[in-house]
Chain A
């Protein structure tokens, strides 16, 4: 029962990681870019949300309504101001640019919000739980998982069905051919990054509800998102989702064995996947 409980907790934790991983998978799929400041953006949005909540007395879901459009705008700006200038064959410029951005953001947040850990008051939602067959399941993790499934499903549907999704896939497959058919790659890229960062708006609210955030936490979130994407297999939205589940379950089981082993267990599974199935569990060889 104890292990089954860990499994359930892991799946719920995976719901959190999926919200980080979706944006990363999308950006890499479309532009072959890894945004090193991905995790720092989650933390930035969380801290903005916490400040909004404390100064205007907003509830968590009102904060979310304010935060998601802000995140969309931030992503669009990030692409227009920085990433469009460094996207290309050579991975170095985009890595260095987002790396510098990460360093600047982290320390800017440190300057504004200090190194203290903060969290978003949820009005009791964070401590409610439901009992199913002898296991207590937190209400908040369930909501997180539901949002993760909905976001993954929505993103997948948008990529497959919508006009914009087709343009995105065309730009990902061959940017020059896409441009010839009348697609403006820069605009498509800007929308992709806006969506990727927009999803972080949801993630930021949940992350600051379920635990505390501090300016230096971004690196760990980046690593979890990255591991989830690689475990699941690159270039697939559901792959990123399943990868997040695998990572969440591994960490939860690891924590149950020894509290010092949880995060390490996640890393080890990532390395194991890399050694045995480098294209990821769901990637095409």
Chain B
């Protein structure tokens, strides 16, 4: 700092926020408040639909942090969703802990499980890492199917939720939705704008060069993996609390990976905007074309292939090439205010 004051040269300021970013930030805060206040403006059916939408956004953003920034392509995040869902059911149902406390206690499970998983999986090279995460999810599913105290293949019900009135449950689900979006989207935005975000972006662009600049690539990857496990776990706990039932095939459903990959790749990888756009497309397509079943998924699959072949940046990549108006700006612009004499 002292250097710039004494040496002649341009006076610089770092601009980090843009007008579009400020507008988006206000809208984001309004959206989170709107989510939290859902019981006062929405019917139970609407709340359930919005909850599903929020789950998609959150899971996709976690995948985006893994694949888009940390370079860790996972097709097994459902492992942590199911494990946390089960942890919630066991704590609340078997041990009789208040479910709204249990939901936060259950987040310890993915945090603890992610550590050995990562220590094993990081030994696998690039694409093999992805298939390895799938094996881990399969192991979780098979273990859950064989465990007596998880009621094996039959699954569990969360009947303790009967003690709460419909309004209380709606309120709780709405607050959890708001918290989920705040933590996954807001948290990622905050993280990307922090010191770690700079390191992460450097790592995304070139891990070797980033390491030579003093970025601890290994530790950063590990941190992102554990954080994404906890984030996905939180989504799993909220989702299955709303479902009131859990069994191994639904808890460890690879569908979550399919939709996260579709949302992020089509929306635009390595951007929060892309996740929001991709989720909207997936959600609308699912409402209108879901009835066509298999042929609908053929179209989703082909779209994913086309994006990988011809438009790596997805929709947001194309948009941001034309209009420079990010909703969640994470770049730092150097602005020359005036030349020193």
Contacts and interface: CB of A to CB of B under 8 A. Distances in A.
Contacts of B121: 274
A267 B142 CA distance: 10
Interface in B251-306: 254, 258, 261, 265, 269, 293-298, 300-306
B305 A101 contact: yes
B152 to A, nearest CB: 9
Given A32-B127, A97-B305, A97-B309, A92 B73 contact: yes
A282 interface: no
B126 to A, nearest CB: 3
A96 B131 contact: no
Nearest to A110: B294
Given A100-B305, A264-B142, A226 B131 contact: yes
B312 interface: yes
A267 B139 contact: yes
B226 interface: no
A82 B249 CA distance: 32
Interface in B189-239: none
Contacts of B294: 107-108, 110-111
B135 interface: yes
B303 A100 contact: yes
A95 B130 contact: yes
Interface in A205-238: 219, 222-223, 226-227, 230, 234
Nearest to A219: B254
Nearest to A83: B309
Given A100-B301, A103-B300, A108-B298, A270 B308 contact: no
B130 A34 contact: yes
Nearest to A105: B301
Contacts of A32: 125-127
B202 to A, nearest CB: 16
A264 B139 contact: yes
Residue picked from B121, B304, B312, most chain A C-beta under 10 Å: B304
A92 B68 CA distance: 9
A132 interface: no
Given A260-B146, A267-B139, A230 B128 contact: yes
Interface in A14-37: 28, 32-34, 36
Interface string A70-99: 000000000000100110000111111101
Interface in A246-285: 260-261, 263-264, 267-268, 270-271, 274-275, 278
A111 B295 contact: yes
B88 to A, nearest CB: 24
Chain B interface category by residue count: 35 or more
A226 B146 contact: no
B124 interface: yes
A104 interface: yes
A102 interface: yes
B336 interface: no
A86 B305 CA distance: 10
Given A99-B304, A261-B146, A34 B131 contact: yes
Given A32-B127, A34-B131, A267-B138, A107 B308 contact: no
A96 B265 contact: yes
Given A32-B126, A96-B307, A107 B301 contact: yes
Interface string B132-170: 101110110011011000000000000000000000000
A251 B309 CA distance: 38
Contact of A82 (B135, B301, B305): B305
Interface string A156-191: 000000000000000000000000000000000000
A91 B260 CA distance: 17
A96 B308 contact: yes
Nearest to A86: B308
Closest 8 CB pairs of A and B: A104-B301, A100-B304, A103-B301, A91-B126, A34-B127, A97-B308, A100-B305, A278-B123
21 contacts: A28-B127, A28-B128, A36-B130, A36-B131, A82-B309, A91-B73, A95-B127, A96-B307, A96-B308, A100-B308, A103-B258, A103-B297, A103-B300, A107-B296, A226-B128, A226-B131, A227-B135, A267-B139, A267-B142, A271-B136, A274-B132
Interface of B: 67, 71, 73, 75, 120-121, 123-128, 130-132, 134-136, 138-139, 142-143, 145-146, 254, 258, 261, 265, 269, 293-298, 300-309, 312
Given A34-B130, A97-B308, A267-B142, 19 more contacts: A28-B128, A34-B128, A82-B305, A92-B73, A95-B130, A96-B265, A97-B304, A100-B301, A100-B304, A100-B307, A103-B298, A103-B301, A108-B298, A110-B294, A230-B128, A268-B139, A271-B136, A275-B120, A278-B124
